[in-house]
C-alpha cells in the first residue's frame, strides 16, 4: 500500500497548494521506542500491519497513541506540499489464494481520507467503488470488497544460501526456538522472519500473540 499512500499525499498536497506554510500530515511519536517482544517501531511494523495495533504494547510503547497508522501520532505536523499529479484509475487488487486467512481493512493513512468503516460494504458489497476517492479504493482497502490485508506466510522467503529454510523451517522447532528464529533470522532478501512469516510467528490480527499459538 506504500504507493497508494504516496499517491494520496501527492493529491492532498495539490488540493492545498495555496497553503504557504505547508500541508497537513501526521508524524509518528514513538521516538525510538518499540513494541514487545519484537521491538518494532511504528514504521517497522504498524504502517503495513494496522490490524496489529494495540496487540503488542508495553510500558514505553502504545501504538494507538504513537503511530499514525493506528490513529495516533502528531496530526498537527506539517509536510512539504508535493507537486500536483493527475488522478489515476483505481488499481486492481491482487486476489488472495486463501480467502479464509484473517483479513484486516487498510487505509492510506492520509489525514481526512475515507475509511472502510465509513460505509456498510459488508451489507451492501454492490456499493464497493461507489465512494472511492483519489487515495481510497474500496476494492483495495476493504475486506468486504475483496481487498484488505490478508495475513499469510511468504512462499519465497528463505535463509541466505539455503532455499529449503523458509517459513516452514522457522516454525519447525520448539516454541522457544521458533521465537528466537522469528526475532533474529534475516532472509536472503534482507527481510526478517517475523515480517515474512506472520502466520508462523503469530503476528496476524485475530490470532493470539506469537509462535503459532491459537485463541
Residues 6+ apart with CB under 8 A from 24: 16, 75, 76, 77, 78, 79, 111, 112
Stated pTM of the model:
0.38
Q: How many angstroms separate the CA atoms of 55 and 22, rounded?
A: 34
Asked if the model's pLDDT at residue 140 lies above 70, the reply is yes
pLDDT recorded at residue 209 = 45
Given a cut of 60, whether residue 114 has pLDDT beyond it is yes
The predicted pLDDT at position 19 comes to: 40
pLDDT value of position 101: 59
Residue 84: pLDDT band with limits 50, 70, 90: low
Report the first-to-last Cα separation within the chain, whole angstroms. 28
Cell (9 digits) for 29: 511519536
Candidate ranges 50-64, 101-115, 201-215; pick with highest mean pLDDT:
50-64
For residue 7, pLDDT over 60 is answered with no
Rounded CA-CA distance 55/57 in Å is: 6
Q: pLDDT digits over 15-30, tens only?
A: 443 343 445 578 899 9
Domain residue ranges of the chain, discontinuous segments joined by + = 152-215
162: pLDDT confidence band, cut at 50, 70 and 90? very high
156: DSSP letter: S
Amino acid at each position: 500500500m506504500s504507493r497508494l499512500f504516496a499517491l494520496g499525499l501527492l493529491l492532498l498536497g495539490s488540493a492545498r497548494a495555496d497553503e504557504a506554510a505547508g500541508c497537513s500530515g501526521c508524524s509518528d511519536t514513538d521516538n525510538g521506542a518499540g513494541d514487545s517482544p519484537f521491538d518494532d517501531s511504528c514504521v517497522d511494523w504498524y504502517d503495513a500491519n494496522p490490524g496489529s495495533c494495540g496487540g503488542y504494547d508495553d510500558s514505553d510503547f502504545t501504538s494507538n497513541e504513537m503511530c499514525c497508522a493506528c490513529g495516533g501520532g502528531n496530526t498537527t505536523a506539517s509536510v512539504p506540499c508535493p507537486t500536483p499529479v493527475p488522478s489515476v484509475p483505481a488499481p486492481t487488487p491482487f486476489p488472495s489464494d486463501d480467502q479464509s486467512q484473517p483479513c484486516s481493512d487498510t487505509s492510506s493513512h492520509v489525514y481526512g481520507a475515507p475509511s472502510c468503516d465509513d460505509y456498510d460494504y459488508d451489507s451492501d458489497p454492490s456499493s464497493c467503488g461507489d465512494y472511492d476517492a483519489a487515495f481510497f479504493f474500496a476494492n483495495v482497502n476493504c475486506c468486504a470488497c475483496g481487498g484488505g490485508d490478508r495475513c499469510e506466510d511468504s512462499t519465497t522467503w528463505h535463509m541466505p544460501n539455503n532455499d529449503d529454510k523458509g517459513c516452514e523451517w522457522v516454525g519447525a522447532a520448539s516454541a522457544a526456538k521458533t521465537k528466537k528464529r522469528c526475532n533474529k533470522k534475516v532472509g536472503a532478501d534482507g527481510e526478517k522472519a517475523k515480517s515474512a512469516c506472520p502466520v508462523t510467528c503469530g503476528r496476524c490480527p485475530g490470532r493470539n500473540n506469537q509462535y503459532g499459538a491459537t485463541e
